[in-house]
Amino acid sequence: MEAEMKGYTGKILFIDLDFKTYEVIQPDSTIYENYLSGVGLASYYLYNSIPKDANPLGNKNVIAFVSGLLTGTGSLITGRWLVATKSPLTGGWGDANCGGTFSPAIKQCGYDGIFVKGISQEPCYIHIDNKSVTFVDAKDLWGMDSVETEEILEKRYSKGKKPSIATIGQAGENLSLISGIVNEKGRIAARSGVGAVMGSKRLKAIVLQGSLPIKAVDTQGIKELSAELANKVRSFTLPNFVKGSLLPLGGSFLGNSKKVTPLDGMMLMPIMKKWGTPGTTTMAATMGDSPIKNWSSTIKEFDKSYYKKFNPDIVTKREYEKYHCYSCIIGCGGKSKINDLSDGKYDHTHKPEYETLSSFGSLIMSKDIDSIYIINEMLNRAGMDTISAGHVVSHLMESFDKGLISEEDLDGIRIVWGDSKAAIKILEKMIKREGVGDLLADGVKVAASKLGKTTDKYAIHCGGQEPAMHDSRLDPMLGVIYSADTTPGRHTTGSSQYYNLIRLWDKVSWAPKVKRYDKSDEYVASEEEALKTVANVAYKQFVDSIGGCLFAMILGVQHWKIFEWSNLATGWNKTPDDYMEIGRRIQTTKQLFNLKHSIDPLSFKMPDRLSGKPPLESGPTKGKTLPIDEMITNFFYASGWDNNGVPTNKIIKELKLDTFLEDING
Ligand code: SF4
């Protein structure tokens, strides 16, 4: 059977910008069987191809743009692409993913992934279609923001199929370590500093214009499962009387519950369909999920007078169009008119997501939602991560408030809690690396070390990566992931809330079953909690290998049938346990990548504040402290690693890593 009949194309494009050359390789089918596609394929090739001394911003680093195993096969909510590389922010494994149409476009050019190494002498972009790979001078685009760049390239390639474009803005060009890669004029693969890697290669954009078909073995079988899911998602809607103003009550109820009962993920879909992620903002605030005042305060301070400004009905009032990624039936995105807010500078923006609303809302104690629209558009255009940038601002505000820094340190900017206008001034400087912006543009860890004056006390990061807008004091599994995952500070990899929704125990023999339990159980460093974490993490590797979206992941395995779709697409006959083993292989490969690049896994541990040391004095997480060290150790053991996070010989053999990874002993 032809490789391209199996969901994956069977080909990878390797580009070397040092010489402007490329080659197409055809991985052995065992690579796909053992690593799938997406993040799995990237983990295998990046482990083997990036030398251990590689400077993340040097020519030996490789950046991979990968599609998913299921993308384009007729399965649903499986159209996300992922970029992976050695992160300049943490020095270890880095990845980020995004939606839009870039993932199918990779496969329509005939590849499962595009890997780029080397550094171009001059700024360039790469145009790829069914037959050719062309290196094009990009001096005229250098300095432009991501939206301007996409608009120009769309016009330039207006003949034939509409191009899919991934580009960097000024932040990536300026090698900001918190920069990302943008597509769809404002959707961003934001984390791990991936934009700086693209910028260091002087690669402004990748333009894809292929039109090859994407085939699967059993297209009809895939379609039948897709129709089943589409009907369910369509039938779950919110009654008209449910208004955004009611959501904080739901958050408060969940946050203060002493018992946890796993819910059906389908129940969340009406919220996602109606409001998208902004629908969770006020709930997350009252639940104790949103970090407040640089993680130091609670809903007592960020009270109703603040959070009511984030009523999602207010956010959707500006929405003029819904937005769906490829193959998605949820469509959580939207575009909002903001002409009136920006004196005509920006016509519209992608609706700010929860992470942005919280990063520039509760985290910095602001109720100025109008400014958040501007910040959102500014940062998306520049290609800068809103989560990280929000932390830089909250760090400055706390350091200023505590008297450690003054206007003199900040080019005359007075930055007090809640002052969004001052935040915008700081962000403008960070994007341009102008004045103090130069020392702030690389994230909180670097900023604190350059500012000095003991501001590092208030620098919230995990091994260099700023954590997301979800509080580990509410969800202890999240704290373990923040502290011990291969990409630290990451909220999408796993959490107790996700685990309860995914219901892996329905299909995976070893995933602990959860019924109704005491919330306090989550705060105990038990073997069961550790095994749940391992299961969630392994499943997420599988999700990132097939091109899946987090919001589909939390629908649960009973609805979103990626185990079944994967067999139908490839003709394999793997069990859910087999796919979970692949997930564990990928996770351990990434851990070995970090060790190869001299990362001490224990150095990723989150700051004490995030594990409740000292505990908060009010709100749903009042008095909560996590035994984080024991939890990390248990997670390592349950992963088959030792107490330092080093995979044991036993697990290396079990996962056959000794046969896959070339310099594993070197
Ligand atoms: S749920 Fe939202 S982010 Fe996920 S694929 Fe659909 S539109 Fe994209």
Q: Per-residue pLDDT tens for 630-662?
A: 999 999 999 999 999 999 999 999 999 999 998
Summary mean pLDDT of the chain: 96
| Mean pLDDT along residues 279-300 | 97
* CA dihedral angle for residue 193, residue 194, residue 200, residue 206, rounded to 10 degrees: -150
Instruction: Locate the ligand 1 atom nearest the alpha carbon of residue 276 and give its number.
Output: 2
Bridge partners (DSSP) listed for residue 662 = none
Ligand 1 centroid, distance to 329 Cα (angstroms): 8
Ligand 1 centroid, distance to 77 Cα (angstroms): 7
Q: What is the DSSP letter of 36?
A: -
Find out whether 166 and 183 touch, Cβ atoms under 8 Å.
Answer: yes
* Tens-digit pLDDT profile for residues 395-414: 999 999 999 999 999 999 99
Longest dimension (CA), the chain: 68
| Mean pLDDT along residues 49-70 | 97
Collapse the DSSP code of 114 into the 3-class scheme (helix H, G, I; strand E, B; otherwise coil) and give the result. Answer: strand
Ligand 1 centroid, distance to 287 Cα (angstroms): 24
Q: For atom 8 of ligand 1, which residue has the closest CA?
A: 325
- The CB density around residue 16, as the number of other CB atoms within 10 Å, is 16
Residue with tokens 């998306």, as numbered in its chain: 380
Ligand 1 centroid, distance to 455 Cα (angstroms): 37
Q: For atom 4 of ligand 1, which residue has the closest CA?
A: 549
pLDDT at 85 over 80: yes
Instruction: Locate the ligand 1 atom nearest the alpha carbon of residue 323 and give its number.
Output: 7
Angle at 583 between CA 578 and CA 586, to 5 degrees: 125
Instruction: Locate the ligand 1 atom nearest the alpha carbon of residue 99 and give its number.
Output: 8
Q: Look at phi and psi of residue 143 and say left if phi exceeds 0, alpha if psi is from -120 to 50, else beta.
A: left
The CA distance from 644 to 484, in Å, is: 10
Ligand 1 centroid, distance to 83 Cα (angstroms): 17
pLDDT at 665 over 70: no
- Strands (DSSP E) contained in 63-202 are 63-66, 81-86, 93-98, 113-117, 124-128, 133-137, 164-167, 181-183, 187-189
pLDDT at residue number 27: 96
pLDDT at 144 over 80: yes
Q: Is the dihedral of CA 426, 90, 445, 493 positive or negative?
A: positive
The CA distance from 322 to 487, in Å, is: 31
pLDDT at 4 over 60: no
Instruction: Locate the ligand 1 atom nearest the alpha carbon of residue 549 and give its number.
Output: 4
pLDDT at residue number 2: 42
Backbone angles phi, psi at 482, to 5 degrees: -55, -40
Ligand 1 centroid, distance to 102 Cα (angstroms): 13
Strands 259-260 and 93-98: unpaired
Q: What is the DSSP letter of 606?
A: P
Ligand 1 centroid, distance to 646 Cα (angstroms): 35
Ligand 1 centroid, distance to 120 Cα (angstroms): 34
Give the rounded percent of residues in the chain with a pLDDT score beyond 70.
99
Overall size of the chain counted in residues: 666
Q: For atom 2 of ligand 1, which residue has the closest CA?
A: 332
Ligand 1 centroid, distance to 214 Cα (angstroms): 21
pLDDT at residue number 666: 53
Instruction: Locate the ligand 1 atom nearest the alpha carbon of residue 324 and give its number.
Output: 7
Instruction: Locate the ligand 1 atom nearest the alpha carbon of residue 329 and give its number.
Output: 6
Collapse the DSSP code of 500 into the 3-class scheme (helix H, G, I; strand E, B; otherwise coil) and give the result. Answer: helix
pLDDT at residue number 5: 62
Q: Is the dihedral of CA 440, 181, 487, 28 positive or negative?
A: negative
One-letter-per-residue 3-state SS of 304-369: HHHHHHHCHHHHHHCEEEEECCCCCCCCCEEEEECHHHCCCCCCEEECCCHHHHHHCCHHHCCCCH
- The CB density around residue 301, as the number of other CB atoms within 10 Å, is 15
Ligand 1 centroid, distance to 80 Cα (angstroms): 8
Q: Choose one of 81, 277, 323, 328 to mutate for the ligand 1 pocket test, by most ligand atoms within 8 angstroms of C-beta.
A: 328
Residue 604 vs residues 56, 457, 479, 486, 539: alpha-carbon distances, Å: 18, 16, 11, 9, 22
> For helices 576-596 and 628-639, what crossing angle results, to 10°?
110
Strands 113-117 and 12-16: parallel
Ligand 1 centroid, distance to 605 Cα (angstroms): 30
* Tens-digit pLDDT profile for residues 328-378: 999 999 999 999 998 889 999 999 999 999 999 999 999 999 999 999 999
Structure tokens at 91: 């020095």
| Mean pLDDT along residues 429-447 | 98
The CA distance from 415 to 563, in Å, is: 50
| Residue ranges around ligand 1 (CB below 6 Å) | 77, 99, 324-325, 328, 330-333, 549, 551
Ligand 1 centroid, distance to 333 Cα (angstroms): 7
Q: Choose one of 70, 76, 77, 321 to mutate for the ligand 1 pocket test, by most ligand atoms within 8 angstroms of C-beta.
A: 77
Q: Residue 520: which H helix or E strand, with range?
A: none
- The CB density around residue 629, as the number of other CB atoms within 10 Å, is 14
The CA distance from 515 to 206, in Å, is: 47
Ligand 1 centroid, distance to 662 Cα (angstroms): 36
Q: What is the DSSP letter of 465?
A: B
Q: Choose one of 549, 553, 554, 562 to mutate for the ligand 1 pocket test, by most ligand atoms within 8 angstroms of C-beta.
A: 549
pLDDT at residue number 550: 96
Instruction: Locate the ligand 1 atom nearest the alpha carbon of residue 80 and give its number.
Output: 5
Q: Choose one of 330, 354, 356, 543 to mutate for the ligand 1 pocket test, by most ligand atoms within 8 angstroms of C-beta.
A: 330
Residue 217 vs residues 4, 17, 350, 636: alpha-carbon distances, Å: 9, 36, 36, 38
Residue with tokens 């807010």, as numbered in its chain: 341
The CA distance from 383 to 549, in Å, is: 21
> If we measure between CA atoms, which residue out of 412, 414, 413, 416 comes closest to residue 398?
416
Structure tokens at 129: 């279609």
* Tens-digit pLDDT profile for residues 559-616: 999 999 999 999 999 999 999 999 999 999 999 999 999 999 999 999 999 999 999 9
pLDDT at 437 over 50: yes
Ligand 1 centroid, distance to 78 Cα (angstroms): 9
The CA distance from 384 to 423, in Å, is: 14
> If we measure between CA atoms, which residue out of 288, 293, 243, 291 comes closest to residue 270?
243
The CA distance from 310 to 245, in Å, is: 9
Residue 148 vs residues 168, 178, 183, 536: alpha-carbon distances, Å: 11, 21, 12, 39
| Mean pLDDT along residues 97-101 | 96
Ligand 1 centroid, distance to 641 Cα (angstroms): 34
* Tens-digit pLDDT profile for residues 187-238: 999 999 999 999 999 999 999 999 999 999 999 999 999 999 999 999 988 8
| Mean pLDDT along residues 61-90 | 98
* Tens-digit pLDDT profile for residues 306-317: 999 999 999 999
